[in-house]
Amino acid sequence: MSETQIRTYHTKDVVRFRKTTEEFGGLSNMAPGFPIVVLGHRIRTSEALYQACRFPHLPEVQKMILSEGSPMTAKMRSKPFRKDSRPDWDDVRVKVMKWCLRVKLVYNWRKFSELLLSTGDRPIVEDSRKDGYWGAMPQDADTLNGQNVLGRLLMDLRRKLQEDPEALRSIPPLQIRNFLLLGEPIPMIMSPRQQEVALVRSDDEGPAQHAFL
């Protein structure tokens, strides 16, 4: 993905989201109702997971972020520690975001896939007042400008969902150093359905129950 290119979008042609309560607000990482489980930890939003990924070397900071009830607060609470983000953060953050979106999909398959597919083939844009990197900013009533990296990752995910949904059911760990959550290496993530099959095969008693941190 060419990240640096600024794009112009015409509001009438796109699916855009700003508030999580809007029709397509579920596409936002801040959207409630799309919980995730990683290493047995229940995480409320993809935003909290993404922000926690900045700090694999600081499990206490990760824990604080993950235990926040609101994603905006999780992001705010990570702010004082931003300077201590993993040193390669700028190089890996798009990969990490892509992985977080896939995890959101695996754990919310029906709801998130239906939402993504309902956007048809229209451009998806995070409409942001101040973030022209992950989103695009209004220039006037008809135009948004920005790199829209999040919107483009969502379009990429939508295309994979249209072409080969089964390939999205499991997610290999990212091949980056220190891909850790609360001190443990993040393993392959499987859809709850695949996990149940694996558990039946291993003659276990059933899927584990998860509580929020």
Ligand X SMILES: Nc1c(N[C@@H]2O[C@H](COP(=O)(O)O)[C@@H](O)[C@H]2O)[nH]c(=O)[nH]c1=O
Q: How far is the CB of 197 from ligand X (least distance, A)?
A: 32
Q: Which stretch binds ligand X (CB under 6 A): 101-109, 123-131, 172-180, 201-209?
A: 123-131
Counting beta carbons within 10 angstroms of the beta carbon of residue 102, is it exposed (0 to 12), middle (13 to 18) or buried (19 or more)?
A: buried
Question: Among residues 79 and 201, whose Cβ is nearest to ligand X?
Answer: 79
**99 forms part of the interface with ligand X (CB under 6 A):** no
**156 forms part of the interface with ligand X (CB under 6 A):** no
Draw the binding track, 28-57, toward ligand X (x: CB under 6 A; -: no contact): -xx----------------x--x-------
**68 forms part of the interface with ligand X (CB under 6 A):** no
The Cα–Cα gap between 113 and 27 comes to: 10
The Cα–Cα gap between 26 and 21 comes to: 8
Q: How far is the CB of 1 from ligand X (least distance, A)?
A: 15
Q: How far is the CB of 119 from ligand X (least distance, A)?
A: 16
Q: Which stretch binds ligand X (CB under 6 A): 7-15, 127-135, 158-166, 190-198?
A: 127-135
Residue choice 105, 144, 150, 181 for contact with ligand X (CB under 6 A): 150
Specify the residue for token string 């489980």.
37
Helix (H) / strand (E) containing 90: helix 89-107
Query: Residues 6 or more apart from 65 whose CB is under 8 A from it?
Result: 48, 51, 52, 55, 74, 77, 78
Count the neighbouring beta carbons within 10 Å of the beta carbon of residue 16.
Answer: 24
**131 forms part of the interface with ligand X (CB under 6 A):** yes
Closest CA to 135 of 54, 27, 13, 23: 27
Tell me the CA distances in angstroms from 9 to 80, 108, 116, 140, 151, one per residue in order: 33, 29, 19, 11, 11
The Cα–Cα gap between 142 and 110 comes to: 32
**134 forms part of the interface with ligand X (CB under 6 A):** yes
**147 forms part of the interface with ligand X (CB under 6 A):** no
**84 forms part of the interface with ligand X (CB under 6 A):** no
Contact 185, 179 (CB under 8 A): yes
**127 forms part of the interface with ligand X (CB under 6 A):** no
Question: Among residues 131 and 156, whose Cβ is nearest to ligand X?
Answer: 131
Q: How far is the CB of 139 from ligand X (least distance, A)?
A: 18
Task: Kindly list the residues in this chain that would bind ligand X in the complex (CB under 6 A).
Answer: 29-30, 47, 50, 126, 128, 131, 134, 150
